[in-house]
Amino acid sequence: MSILELAFFRNALVMCVLLSLLFGVLSFFIVMRKMSFLGAGIAHTAFGGVALGVFFGIDPFFTSLGFCVIVAVITGRLVRAGTLSYDVIIGIFFSFSMALGAMLIALKKDYTFDLMGYLFGNILGVTARDNVIAIVAVLVFIPFIAVFLQRILFMTFDREVAEVSGVNTGMLDTMLLVFLAGIIVVSIRMVGIILVSALVVLPASFGSLFSRNYRRVILYGCIYTAVIMTGGLFLSYYLNTPAGATMVTLGTAIYFTGVLIFRLTRSE
Amino acid sequence: MSTPAIVLKNVWIRYNSNVILEDISFSVEKGEILSIVGPNGSGKTSLIRAIMGLKEIWKGEIRVMGSPPVNLRKSGVIGYLPQGNMHDSGFPVNVYDTVAMARFSGKRFLERLDRDDRGNVRESLERVEMWDYRGHHFGSLSGGQKQRVLIARALALRPEILILDEPSTGLDAVAQDSFYLLLRKLRDEQGLTILMVSHDIGTVSNIVDRLACIKQKIHFHGRPDECIPSDALAKVFGRDVYFVKHDKDCETCRGNR
């Protein structure tokens, strides 16, 4: 029996392709704005959101989505107001959300909670409904980027000048943070809370090694993510290892191979 | 008499509870080059950020082309050149894209760059003599070339006022000279009003029409060839400061070149 005949594997494969597109594009703006730590912070925040859902008997997808979006928007506002810096706020929410999650799950004693699945991903947990949610995310996020690409690029390159020139940086900033939170939550069932931050950082970092043109950096980032996610998925099936962990290990290996090739070709 | 391009009346700015600028009043006439001069930490950058509407003022009033600064967003009235070497040299954009970014800020959601925009980007790059570098990666340019490209980006907005924050930082003497000549040319040919922040009173005094010496308060406001009172210089820069004007037209220096 071919693995493609397995419904859960097909769901996971479709999810990989959709997430490649989402993270390939998102990663560029997060990495170029030096907000990678925010990705890790939002991902860990999701744990508190998931636990809230478990505790109150609500679908954890919606509670984690709501929780992460609220944290992302509050973070953005506090940073823009100059009250606190990203690393301070994320440092606080990071541990608070994990602590809240651990407490709520401990209080809900009779619940069988797939903790490892949420932390490190579980392809068995990816359903057709998750794919529909990911398709909706692609249909909203990609047109948003297509319409605002130049303005976001301007804001990313030179925020104050963009603001003086009439770019609505506050609105674009908030939208990007909402998408960051949403895309992370969509990917958690597949990759896991602990590992998803790698997908925020690696695509653009890899793309930047091979091009100094932003369009190509985004394109290479999407291709790279597709390779590591689908490659990691197949590898995990044959090696019987967790999918998220396999994807991130493969991605890191390919990234450092890329760094080596970049250094060798540059020294020539 | 026409309205000045920029007017500040009794402006106070504070950061948290600390007052960083007190009772600042001056104006910049249209087509004039004015430099705000002062040492590091004197409040120069806060002042220009307030003029651009990026920083709230505590007391007083600012008018740019007769309007409050925040009302001028999207109008393209102000072209801004931030402090040099603030940009990530690895950012993957070329010279053309860097300048073209500015043209998108005034566009509607789905509008693309049209012929007029592309012509404007070309004209702006040609004006600063950087058109031949349009395909180059921005981060690979020299400091002086980057400044020219950023000026082109500001010009692409077709602004009436150009605001520059320490534009000569990181430039060698030749690049500085060439950059300041470009500013004068832009003023003379396009009638641009230029407001510039600098800590180098000696160099900017050659190209500006007026100086405003600031350190928390305004200590001198006038033409650079006026005798700046020594106590004003001492208040702004500390004691034992002598103002040496580098006069390129100096008759006695010519023989030594």
- Tens digit of each residue's pLDDT (9 = 90 or more) over A1-58: 688 888 889 999 999 999 999 999 999 999 998 888 888 889 899 999 999 998 998 9
A33 in contact with chain B, both atoms CB, cutoff 8 A: no
Rank A163-167, A192-196, B49-53 by mean pLDDT and report only the highest.
B49-53
pLDDT digits (tens, 9 = 90+) for B150-200: 989 999 988 999 999 988 777 777 778 888 888 888 889 888 999 999 877
Q: What dihedral do alpha carbons A156, A218, B150, B85 form, nearest 10°?
A: 70
Q: Which residues of B touch A151 (CB under 8 A)?
A: 104-105
pLDDT classification of B253: cutoffs 50, 70, 90: very low
Average pLDDT value for chain B: 84
pLDDT of residue B233: 63
| Helix pair A169-191, A36-56: axis angle to 10 deg | 60
pLDDT at B186: 86
CATH class of the region B1-77+161-257: alpha beta
Length of chain A: 268
- Which of A148, A157, A163 is nearest residue B93 as measured by Cβ atoms? A157
Q: What distance in Å separates the CA atoms of residue A193 and residue A147, rounded to the nearest whole number? A: 30
Residues 6+ apart with CB under 8 A from A12: A123, A126, A190, A233, A243
**Does position B235 have pLDDT exceeding 60, yes or no?**
yes
DSSP state of B128: T
Please give the model's pTM, rounded to 2 decimal places. 0.84
Q: State which amino acid sits at residue A67.
A: F
Q: Which residues contact A128 (CB under 8 A, 6 or more apart)?
A: A11
Q: Which domain holds residue A133?
A: 3-267
Q: pLDDT (tens digit, 9 = 90+) per residue, A217-231? A: 999 999 999 999 999
Residue A268 is predicted with a pLDDT of 59
The complex scores an ipTM of 0.82
Please report the residues numbered 146 through 175 in chain A whose beta carbons come closer than 8 angstroms to any beta carbon of chain B: 147-148, 150-151, 153-154, 156-158, 160-167
Cβ atoms A212, A32 nearer than 8 A: no
pLDDT digits (tens, 9 = 90+) for B53-96: 989 999 999 999 999 998 887 678 899 998 866 788 889 999 99
How far apart are the C-alpha atoms of A22 and A182, rounded to whole Å? 10
Decide if pLDDT at B29 tops 90: yes
Distance CA B92, CA B90 (A): 6
pLDDT at B238 over 70: no
Task: Report how many domains make up chain A.
Answer: 1
What value does the mean pLDDT take over residues A165-169? Answer: 88
Window from A232-236, A264-268, B56-60 with minimum mean pLDDT? A264-268
Q: For chain A, give the mean pLDDT.
A: 90
Q: B159 to chain A: nearest residue by CA? A: A165
Of A18, A28, A46, A10, the residue nearest A192 (C-alpha): A46
Inter-chain residue contact A154 with B106, CB threshold 8 Å: no
Q: How far apart are CA A258 and CA A204, in angstroms?
A: 12
Chain B residues close to A32, C-beta within 8 Å:
88, 91
Interchain proximity A160–B106, CB inside 8 Å? no
Tokens of A21: 């597109």
Q: Which residues of B lie closer than 8 Å to A, measured between beta carbons?
A: 49, 52-54, 73-76, 78-82, 86-88, 90-94, 97-98, 100-102, 104-106, 109-110, 137, 139-140, 153-154, 157
Give pLDDT, residue A166.
86
* CB atoms A212 and B52 under 8 Å: no
- Distance, in Å, from the CA atom of A164 to the CA atom of A158, rounded to the nearest integer, reads 10
Q: Which pLDDT value is given to residue B255?
A: 44
C-alpha span between A3 and B6 (Å, rounded) = 70
Query: Strand B193-198 and strand B59-64: pairing?
Result: unpaired
CATH of the domain at A167: 1.10.3470.10
In terms of DSSP H, where are the helices of chain B?
44-51, 95-104, 115-127, 143-155, 173-190, 201-204, 230-237, 251-254
Query: Dihedral (C-alpha) A221, A222, A225, A230: value to the nearest 10 degrees?
Result: -150
CA B218, B224, B227, B231 torsion-angle sign: positive
Shortest distance between the Cα of A117 and any Cα of chain B, in A, equals 37
Q: Which residue from A44, A6, A2 is spatially nearest to A124, judged by alpha carbons? A: A6
Subunit contact B105:A151, Cβ cutoff 8 A:
yes
Are A61 and A133 contacting, i.e. CB atoms less than 8 angstroms apart? yes
Instruction: Measure B10 CA to nearest chain A CA, in Å.
Output: 23
CA distance A224 to A229: 9
Chain A hits for B139, CB-CB cut-off 8 Å, are 212
For residues B60 and A131, the answer to whether their CB atoms sit within 8 Å is: no
B198 beta partners: B37
Query: Packing angle between helix A60-80 and helix A86-107, nearest 10 degrees?
Result: 150
Query: Which chain B residues are within 8 Å of A150, Cβ to Cβ?
Result: 100-101, 104
What's the pLDDT at B236? 63
| Cross-chain CB nearest to B52 (options A147, A156, A164) | A164
